[in-house]
Amino acid sequence: METAIAAVAGEILSRFISFTLKKLCSSHECLEEKGKRLEHLLTRVHTVVEETDGRYITNSGMLMQLKTLSEAMYQGYHALDTLRFQLHEESSMDKVRNSFSFSSATRLKRPRTIVFDSVNKGKMLNLEVHGALENLERVVANIGEFLALLGGYDRMSQRPYDVYLYIDNFMFGRHTEKQKLLNFLLQRSPDGAPAVLPVIGSFAVGKKTLVAHVCADERVRSQFPSILHLKGENILSIVHHEKALLGMALVVIEFILEIDGVEWEEFYSFVTRTNRSIKVIIISTHERFVRFGSVRPVFLNKLSYEELQCLFKTLAFGSADPMEHPGLVQIAEEYAKSLH
């Protein structure tokens, strides 16, 4: 009797698992199609972001659209990487499934667990891919007007070594923030007084890296032959650099410690008397330095998890195919999680 019950239970479970596996196969085919669609949309959006990043954008509305495009792009890349890795895992598991015998309920315990795990992973993956696709399709649907307006903005000239630098900076993100800094430096100050832009962000988010990248731009270097870097605790040493401030000059100040308003006023008064066309960039982790700014500050938040994962993956693989080493893709993802 017990043997008969075990045989019936085994048959029922065998049929259930066969049905579930067929459903999984159908789901995988659907995911593969979504993956192809995701890859196609990512190519389009990546091209637009790259083209935008190579122009001087002054319109605030377009900068907001650029931010939306880049966020959708990084989310899409993360979903595509996750999908590829999951499909790679499933293809390996197919060999394991085929090796199981469905003759008894005892032997079915392990494959049943594998199937349920696969179903749960499949649902989560489908939700992530679907969400990324929706975002990309939404931004692509409204991209025509953006591209039409983009053609009216000047291109940034590139030096021979810019391609390598561009890949790193593109991967790093900060597209919108970079454009805001460029706009500040290249536009005239409306009131004729030295303009001050605070760049605020927590420790190690890339404030100095961003400012250094913008200062390396050809237009910025031609407009500001003199770029002076000061520490906040030594801002009054500016009096020893009066000759460097006579032409178009940019002063970059990194504040680590607090200073009083009197010291800042003394610094700003000297700069104003010397040359009203001077521009000042403040770099600090403390929001209280926003009070010294004459324009809206640029706030740098941590890179998103998707951006960090894209960064580490590209650093690890370069132009190589990540799926040749799927385990390393997971390592890059875990590293991004630990830093986010």
pLDDT in single tens digits along all 340 residues of the chain: 555 444 445 545 455 444 444 454 446 667 788 888 999 999 999 999 989 988 999 898 999 999 999 999 999 998 988 888 777 676 655 555 555 444 444 444 445 554 445 556 667 778 888 899 999 999 999 898 899 999 889 888 654 444 444 444 444 678 899 999 999 999 887 767 899 999 999 998 989 999 998 999 889 999 999 999 999 988 989 988 888 888 889 999 999 988 888 999 999 999 999 888 899 999 999 999 999 999 999 999 988 888 887 777 777 766 566 666 666 667 767 766 776 6
Pairwise CA distance, residues 114 & 98, whole Å? 12
CA 135 to chain centre: 15
Angle formed by the axes of helices 175-186 and 2-53, to 10°? Answer: 10
Which tokens is 139 given? Answer: 């931004």
Alpha-helical runs (H) found in the chain: 2-53, 60-98, 105-141, 143-150, 162-172, 175-186, 207-215, 218-223, 261-274, 305-317, 326-339
Which tokens is 305 given? Answer: 């998890």
Q: Which of 211, 203, 209 is nearest to 285 (CA)?
A: 203
State the residue for tokens 């005892």.
106
Q: Tell me, what DSSP letter sits at residue 216?
A: T
Q: Which of 271, 163, 273 is nearest to 281 (CA)?
A: 271
Give pTM, 2 decimals. Answer: 0.70
Q: Tell me, what DSSP letter sits at residue 298?
A: E
State the residue for tokens 């890179």.
303
- 140, with CB counted inside 10 A (0-12, 13-18, 19+), is middle
Pairwise CA distance, residues 185 & 165, whole Å? 21
Contacts of residue 87, Cβ cutoff 8 Å, sequence gap at least 6: 28, 31, 32, 35
